[in-house]
Chain A
Amino acid sequence: MRESIIMKIHYGTALGAVVLVAVHILMRMTQNFGQSLQYQNVIANYHFLPYALMLEAVLILLSVHGFNGLRVILLELKQGSGYEKMVNYGSLAAMAILIAYGSRTILMAGMGVS
């Protein structure tokens, strides 16, 4: 994929994440911060489908943005065909693992599996 397209994805995921993370933080502020972290409240968040879908979107946007950012930093540091390939595929793999692990939590908590 061309770097110009990757940068557009990087900026797009950043803007999307800013909006959704703001909603995520505001949800914690609807009540006392400590109370909002109580088990029942957090589970209720996962059971509320629109919120669970939003969490999934935040997870994807932040993972893509975060690991692409890391990829850019690592490519600025050093260049070379083998190294670049390793960084590109490594970032993609880490991104996929993080999304899979986070999605597992959202799915299991949302469906009441524990």
Chain B
Amino acid sequence: MTERLSNREGIKGMANPTRYGIERVAYWLQRLTGLGLLAYLIGHIFETSTIVHGKVAWDKMLEFTQTPQGHIILTLVIGMCVFHTANGIRVMLGHGGIGVGKPGQPEYPYKAASLNYKQRLCIWVSIGLAALAMMYGASILFGD
């Protein structure tokens, strides 16, 4: 019981992206971007609801959001969205057994077959796509 409790790190354990390689970083980023996107969704629904109060309220809201800070937030949202989508598709395919390799006899140094180069490559591709989308988004937002 004491040992079980001592192993319980709670939110600190979940918030720590280190110790288990790039797969752990992907797990951490997937949750972090998910929470960020949920926060943005709530904010976006609240922000767009001002349209029902007429043109003045809408323009006032635009003045508040269409600022360099607002554009930086939107650029981050674009990156989060692309990473969450690309990595989410990887996870979905993995749950379906696609790209996780074949089960085999465990042999030293006991590398998990599911964490193969395809999976790692997909994580890096997700990060790369997110970076590219952020650059493209920023060029449109700040190019206006």
Contacts and interface: CB of A to CB of B under 8 A. Distances in A.
Q: Report the contact-size class of chain A (Cβ under 8 Å from the partner).
A: 20 to 34
B99 interface: no
Contact of A73 (B35, B58, B88): B35
Contacts of A32: 144
Given A39-B55, A59-B45, A104-B49, A34 B144 contact: yes
B45 A105 contact: yes
A70 B14 contact: no
Interface string A38-76: 010011001000000000000100110011011001001
B31 interface: yes
Main secondary structure on A side of the interface with B: helix
A97 to B, nearest CB: 10
Interface stretch (B36-44, B101-109, B117-125): B36-44
Contacts, number: 71
Interface residues of B, number: 31
B66 interface: yes
24 contacts: A7-B95, A11-B92, A11-B95, A14-B88, A18-B85, A21-B81, A33-B141, A33-B144, A37-B66, A66-B37, A67-B38, A69-B34, A69-B38, A77-B10, A77-B14, A98-B42, A101-B45, A101-B46, A102-B49, A104-B49, A105-B48, A105-B51, A113-B52, A114-B54
Contact of A101 (B49, B51, B62, B88): B49
Interface of B: 10-11, 14, 31, 34-35, 37-38, 41-42, 45-46, 48-49, 51-55, 58-59, 62, 66, 81, 85, 88, 92, 95, 140-141, 144
